[in-house]
Amino acid sequence: MRAWSVNRPGPIGEHPIEFVDKPVPTPGPDELLVKVRACGVCRTDLHVTEGDLPVHREGVTPGHEVVGEVVESGEGVRGWRRGERVGVAWLHHTDGTCRYCARGDENLCPASTYTGWDVDGGYAEYTTVPAEFAYRLPDGVDDVTLAPLLCAGIIGYRALVRASLPEGGRLGLYGFGGSAHLCAQLAIAQGAEVHVMTRGAEAQQLARSLGAASVNDAYDAPPVPLDAAITFAPVGDLVPVAMRALDRGGVLSIAGIHPSDIPALNYERELFYEKEIRSVTANTREDGREFLELAARYGIAATTHTYPLSKADQALADLKAGRFDGAAVLVPDA
Ligand SMILES: [Zn+2]
Ligand SMILES: [Zn+2]
């Protein structure tokens, strides 16, 4: 099969990733072999490709927003049919036995492994997934629209849960890419007033079209104090900005993966009155199932730009340069 391989992690302009021939993987016990029909391009793929995340598997195939179909089941798999649509996401496996897993926080499992980092992912014609970590997908939504929900959507959902937004509350979103534009749709559908702070005319236009109550530049203050905020842009400088925008008792949840350093905070202006900062670490399978159900109920859909699988390097470069709004999705070459 054709697949992308991160052979020399480094800047995307220096060809760190190559389109190569790899054998079609064989599903191990309790695994599914999946034919990839669409794979979203996530910023984490860029971090794996550029070496911001340490190499966990040499020559890894990135990609963890996979919509595909089951073509083969390994030994011991139950409940999946050949031809059935399946989703493969970031969380590949956890031990299920540690104290974090035992209390329902499998996203914190020290033994967790990740798709497209520890194991080969979806920038390929085929991939594998443990059946227990595969998602059933709602009917009536096409493959390309669904793909970005599997990481961008699920992470945005977890960030929203972590932000403890009160019902009908005011939510600020800093940055408005793949994850934020899905999170905004869910929050608005659930009755929140959403204020978006982002640079870039296209992202601002998208925010308006999705029903944001206000749209401002990244470092501008929203027109009202916020009950909760989420930083999606991986920019530590935005943290004090967002903390100043919070109302008393407000919560900031930091969803941007691998953000730059956070500057010193001023206690009076940026933390006092019981404001809180919370990080967001991956997600549990429960988060994923909850989000996919809500997404189907509210018709949450990603704004997508498709690239043929053979142009994944271009998609990553365009993501880095901010050349599209919404989310890029790889589809099999015609
Ligand atoms: Zn565990
Ligand atoms: Zn991701």
27 and 104 assigned to the same domain: yes
User: What SS3 state is found at 20?
Assistant: strand
> Dihedral (C-alpha) 42, 52, 204, 210: value to the nearest 10 degrees?
30
User: What SS3 state is found at 78?
Assistant: coil
CA of 92 to the centre of ligand 1 (A): 12
How do strand 193-197 and strand 214-216 relate by DSSP bridges? parallel
8 and 140 assigned to the same domain: yes
Enumerate residues with CB within 5 Å of ligand 1 (an ion): 94-95, 98, 101, 109
175 and 230 assigned to the same domain: yes
CA of 247 to the centre of ligand 1 (A): 36
**Alpha-carbon 53 to chain mean position:** 15
CA of 43 to the centre of ligand 2 (A): 6
How confident is residue 325, by pLDDT bands cut at 50, 70 and 90? confident
268 and 299 assigned to the same domain: no
Write the pLDDT tens digit of every residue in 239-281: 999 999 999 999 999 997 788 999 999 999 999 999 999 999 9
CA of 171 to the centre of ligand 1 (A): 32
Amino acid at 213: A
Partners of 231 in beta bridges = 174, 254
212 and 266 assigned to the same domain: yes
Compute the distance between CA of residue 293 and CA of residue 291 in angstroms, rounded to an integer. Answer: 5
167 and 67 assigned to the same domain: no
CA of 146 to the centre of ligand 1 (A): 28
Closest ligand relative to 64 C-alpha: 2
Mean pLDDT value of segment 80-99: 97
**Structural Rg of the chain based on CA atoms:** 19
91 and 13 assigned to the same domain: yes
Residue (of 151, 158, 159) closest to 117 by Cα position: 151
How confident is residue 200, by pLDDT bands cut at 50, 70 and 90? confident
Write the pLDDT tens digit of every residue in 4-42: 999 999 999 999 999 999 999 999 999 999 999 999 999
Domain residues for 199? 153-279
Residue (of 153, 142, 200, 162) closest to 180 by Cα position: 153
17 and 63 assigned to the same domain: yes
CA of 110 to the centre of ligand 2 (A): 19
313 and 229 assigned to the same domain: no
Closest ligand relative to 115 C-alpha: 2
User: What pTM was computed for the model?
Assistant: 0.93
